[in-house]
Structure 1
């Protein structure tokens, strides 16, 4: 380890390199993005506190495949001084480290804010004080648009759809007003706006991607977050699945390979898109209800999965499909993996993971 800022450890990156820094780089999307940059020969700094289930396995996978070009700084984004060394050499930052569950935010709103709000401000300040115009690309959420309860919906078979024809065809675009709902929506929304403002106030090249439901390999989903993987994990274990509401909620799910392509495209064209927010999701072609997704899981696994229904959760959206035309126009990006194909890909990876020497999909664990 090299040393920086007195006694603070810094990732031991070779002199003269300009690594990519990924906060939450051992997480689901972060590890997939890291793998793509590493495959291109880049050096990657993974800044992660390693507190979530599955992240240690993801880090081991990165190191096994890419060796000493993976540089870990184990630190928490709530500690500004601890994370500063990761920014000393980095040429760009992808910020994924977050508290990601609405339910957790309702139980622990202060901690939720400290991670998502203050943690993001720390990342921005570390980038700003690096002395370089360091791009910061932030993983935001569709929850910044609120629960959308003002939209007129109609039932169409197994799903809810907007009464408005244009919205039904394209989804919800970025002109939709922000309407934070739940502490999680507030903390991510605050972070979203800080990231955009740093482009205005400090000329830092920043951009925001407001994500729908991302799924794919290296995701260890729970009931509260990563529900596509959670459903598949439960089905593979022959365990019942709990649905909150009636299961007719619609989401546009996006395979992680397509999400990674979008993040990389933003960095490549950051000078053109800095200071902007984009919706990132599967769009209308990848919109599916929870009931429809469960039927496909039954087809993939060849087993009917017991389902129970509970009360609606606070802030849940009946419908969210991202209108991604702004992203498509700006970057030429489009989703390439259809949701049925992507679901089969995830099921195969989960089955292979379970049969490997690691044997079991990590259970969720609660951390302080």
Structure 2
């Protein structure tokens, strides 16, 4: 193991801090590049420093600062690029900032590695939004959830062979960055891989209405505040515990010679597919009281159904079994209640049963 640091852009964020914790625990030096603009992430940074001390090197800077970013990447032995503008709603309000952060920021980092020309790998956090709103699929209602009529999609989910179809400025910017990352492997030999993520949840997630919705639902329920569902609440996502996501990122780095130039769909898969209404029912059981649910119009680019076909990632990366969504959400509820010092009761028998 060399003493060169591993660079994580967005390293104080939800996935970044969990990834940093794993890498530092494995004995690596970890350089966190983060603007600390998202509320709550400074607590993640403090937590990492308290656990790992000097193995954590923070750089507080913006991904749009090409000079600072090149300096941070100058001696990194690997790069995990998680820094991004992450909300569809924000991209609709300010497309220029979305473009500058997600496309220019990614290009800045790729150029820094291309100029090094020494085989430093980059693993990129992409999104299922690169597949668009999937409006061409036919759906049927099964209980309180949408299900695809196509049996292959229903049984396995959306595969990487699905045509790309960018929708909303966020979808365009993340999709363009996704393609830049893959092309730098083809055109310039930079060893890169792309993770097209479904909904990741878990400890250290500071969820908001626009991003991190599993944690957001839990926080609102724990605080006794109303939750707004956009659409009918029957839309389905496959949710993945952050520990499984971190393992996939680490394994992609470890196997970069075998997977460079490839994109993988990363999510909970069909076994962890859940509609918003089904998740809320589980949350109500955990907190022991009804949740005040309100409804509003569908939002731009929202998918009625997205479940990742994870077979390619599982085979190529040798991934461990996924955390069951019920037990994972129960553990997140426990962590959020403790982290926010909430005295509201969580149903301990249900927590134990879910685990």
TM-score range, shorter chain: over 0.9
1:178 to partner: Cα distance? 0.1
**Aligned partners of 2:321, 2:263: CA distance in 1, in Å?**
18
- 1:176 corresponds to which residue? 162
Q: Does 1:37 align with 2:9?
A: no
**Aligned partners of 1:154, 1:122: CA distance in 2, in Å?**
44
> What do residues 158-185 of structure 1 show as CA deviations (whole Å, max 9, x unaligned)?
0000001111000000000000000000
**Aligned partners of 1:133, 1:233: CA distance in 2, in Å?**
43
CA contact (8 A) 1:283 1:324 kept: yes
**Aligned partners of 1:324, 1:43: CA distance in 2, in Å?**
30
Q: Partner of 2:264: helix, strand, or coil?
A: strand
- 1:11 corresponds to which residue? none
> What do residues 68-116 of structure 1 show as CA deviations (whole Å, max 9, x unaligned)?
1100111111111111111122100000000000000000001001000
What is the 5 A alignment of 1:63-212? 63-212=49-198
CA contact (8 A) 1:241 1:306 kept: yes
**Structure 2 gaps, min length 5:** 343-355
- 2:247 corresponds to which residue? 261
Q: Does 1:232 align with 2:187?
A: no
- 1:346 corresponds to which residue? 332
1:355 to partner: Cα distance? 2.0
**Structure 1 gaps, min length 5:** 1-15, 357-368
**Aligned partners of 1:35, 1:129: CA distance in 2, in Å?**
29
Task: Choose which of 332, 337, 353 in structure 1 pairs with 2:323.
Answer: 337
**Aligned partners of 1:249, 1:335: CA distance in 2, in Å?**
25
1:334 to partner: Cα distance? 4.1
> What do residues 177-222 of structure 1 show as CA deviations (whole Å, max 9, x unaligned)?
0000000000000000000000011100000000000000000010
- 1:214 corresponds to which residue? 200
> What do residues 266-295 of structure 1 show as CA deviations (whole Å, max 9, x unaligned)?
001000000000000000000000000000
RMSD: 0.9
Displaced runs of 4 or more, over 4 A: none
- 2:44 corresponds to which residue? 58
Q: How many residues in Structure 1 have an aligned counterpart in Structure 2?
A: 341
CA contact (8 A) 2:117 2:190 kept: no
Task: Choose which of 284, 289, 301 in structure 2 pairs with 1:298.
Answer: 284
CA contact (8 A) 2:240 2:322 kept: no
**Aligned partners of 1:200, 1:158: CA distance in 2, in Å?**
44
What is the 5 A alignment of 1:353-364? 353-355=339-341
Moved more, 193-202 or 331-340: 331-340
**Aligned partners of 1:129, 1:235: CA distance in 2, in Å?**
49
CA contact (8 A) 1:92 1:134 kept: yes
Q: Partner of 1:129: helix, strand, or coil?
A: helix
CA contact (8 A) 1:154 1:161 kept: yes
Q: Partner of 1:173: helix, strand, or coil?
A: coil
**Aligned partners of 1:147, 1:88: CA distance in 2, in Å?**
38
- 1:3 corresponds to which residue? none
- 1:277 corresponds to which residue? 263
> What do residues 222-261 of structure 1 show as CA deviations (whole Å, max 9, x unaligned)?
0000000000000010000000000000000000000000
**Aligned partners of 1:334, 1:279: CA distance in 2, in Å?**
15
